[in-house]
């Protein structure tokens, strides 16, 4: 079979499985197997594809038909212009989270100490360490799988990150930071039932923020003050409905809150600067 024939059949199969951009995904996976970009592949699509590559493609196609995220199937994804390995066990880095990363980079003082809580694939911690030279980044997660993947991403990207297995601040007694960032699990119990099939392949541990989705905001806000230097910043990614609730928590525990929207116009980041209490 030629590239053209394979893509036609694969697209039809993915469409039957309800995959939104069937034709795009079919091409991405075949280009990955062939080790080419999709444009080069399509420019000469009358070439035959050898049997071993067709078998590899078939395996990827079956996973996509089962609605696994493309990022898991390709094994990698981009974030902040860097490449991250991802797989089952960590949330796929999302473009929305770049808003949080950019704000962190803007606010981070020279040589600042940063803590990333619930690092997952390491997207935030590794990007900050790479893009803010001189910063000292610590990343924690409860999941060993996440720490293994995040560690690999730090190596791949040449980022110097200290990884600690910790449930929030649990293993960080007495440590302080100039910035704390977190994209915690924030989906509420009810919404967990309505997630896209792809998201259902991602770990519930990284998605579900308890009954109202706010469990981690409550916990981190309450405990963060003791781990922030004076003038230190706490930055959270939030779900689109959570701005007011999270801002109220920050106002109570940290300082005057601020909020930022994502490129889709939804509230995506809430943060606060720790008030100096030395007066
Ligand atoms: N943005 C993710 C989603 O809507 C949720 C990420 C999270 O819970 N931190 O699928």
Q: In ligand 1, which atom is closest to the CA atom of 196? A: 10
pLDDT, average across residues 13-42: 97
Using most ligand atoms within 8 A of CB, pick from 90, 182, 186, 210 the residue to mutate for ligand 1: 186
* Separation of CA 15 and ligand 1 centre (Å): 25
User: 143 near 205, Cβ under 8 Å?
Assistant: yes
Residue 29 scores a pLDDT above 80: yes
Tokens of 14: 């993915």
Using most ligand atoms within 8 A of CB, pick from 187, 206, 240 the residue to mutate for ligand 1: 187
CA 189-192-194 angle, 5° bins: 130
Mean pLDDT of the chain: 97
Tens-digit pLDDT profile for residues 202-245 = 999 999 999 999 999 999 999 999 999 999 999 999 999 999 99
What's the pLDDT score for residue 251? 97
* Separation of CA 256 and ligand 1 centre (Å): 25
Q: How far is CA 58 from CA 63, 84, 177, in A?
A: 9, 24, 48
What's the pLDDT score for residue 277? 62
Cross-strand partners of 85: 76
* Separation of CA 132 and ligand 1 centre (Å): 25
Tens-digit pLDDT profile for residues 145-178 = 999 999 999 999 999 999 999 999 999 999 999 9
**Ligand 1 first shell, C-beta below 6 A:** 91, 94, 183-187, 199, 207
* Separation of CA 98 and ligand 1 centre (Å): 13
Q: In ligand 1, which atom is closest to the CA atom of 118? A: 9
Q: Across the chain, which distance is largest between two alpha carbons, in Å?
A: 76
Minimal-distance CA residue to ligand 1 atom 10: 199
Residue 278 scores a pLDDT above 60: no
Minimal-distance CA residue to ligand 1 atom 2: 207
Tens-digit pLDDT profile for residues 168-207 = 999 999 999 999 999 999 999 999 999 999 999 999 999 9
User: 180 near 172, Cβ under 8 Å?
Assistant: no
3 state DSSP class of 233? strand
pLDDT, average across residues 103-114: 97
Residue 279 scores a pLDDT above 60: no
What's the pLDDT score for residue 276? 75
* Separation of CA 197 and ligand 1 centre (Å): 14
* Separation of CA 45 and ligand 1 centre (Å): 38
What's the pLDDT score for residue 138? 98
Tens-digit pLDDT profile for residues 50-103 = 999 999 999 999 999 999 999 999 999 999 999 999 999 999 999 999 999 999
């Amino acid at each position: 079979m030629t590239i053209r024939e394979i893509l036609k059949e694969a697209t039809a199969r993915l469409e039957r499985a309800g995959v939104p951009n069937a034709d795009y995904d079919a091409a991405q996976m075949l280009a990955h197997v062939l080790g080419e970009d999709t444009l080069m592949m399509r420019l000469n699509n009358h070439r035959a594809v050898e049997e071993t590559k067709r078998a590899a493609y078939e395996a990827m196609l079956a996973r996509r038909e089962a609605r696994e995220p493309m990022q898991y199937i390709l094994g990698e994804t981009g974030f902040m212009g860097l490449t991250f390995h991802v797989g089952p066990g960590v949330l796929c880095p999302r473009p929305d989270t770049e808003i949080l990363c950019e704000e962190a980079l803007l606010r981070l003082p020279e040589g600042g100490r940063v803590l990333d809580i619930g690092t997952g694939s390491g997207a935030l911690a590794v990007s900050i360490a790479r893009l803010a030279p001189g910063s000292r980044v610590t990343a924690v997660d409860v999941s060993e799988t996440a720490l293994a993947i995040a560690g690999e991403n730090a190596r791949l990207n040449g980022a110097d990150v200290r990884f600690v297995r910790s449930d929030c601040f649990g293993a960080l007694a007495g440590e302080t930071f100039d910035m704390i960032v977190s994209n915690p699990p924030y989906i509420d119990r009810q919404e967990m039932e309505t997630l896209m099939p792809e998201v259902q392949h991602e770990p519930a541990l990284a998605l579900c923020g308890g009954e109202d989705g706010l469990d981690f905001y409550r916990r981190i806000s309450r405990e963060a003050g003791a781990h922030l230097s004076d003038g230190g910043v706490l930055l959270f990614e939030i779900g689109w409905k959570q701005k007011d609730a999270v801002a109220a928590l920050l106002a109570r525990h940290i300082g005057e809150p601020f909020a930022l929207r994502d490129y889709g116009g939804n509230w995506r980041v809430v943060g606060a600067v720790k008030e100096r209490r030395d007066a």
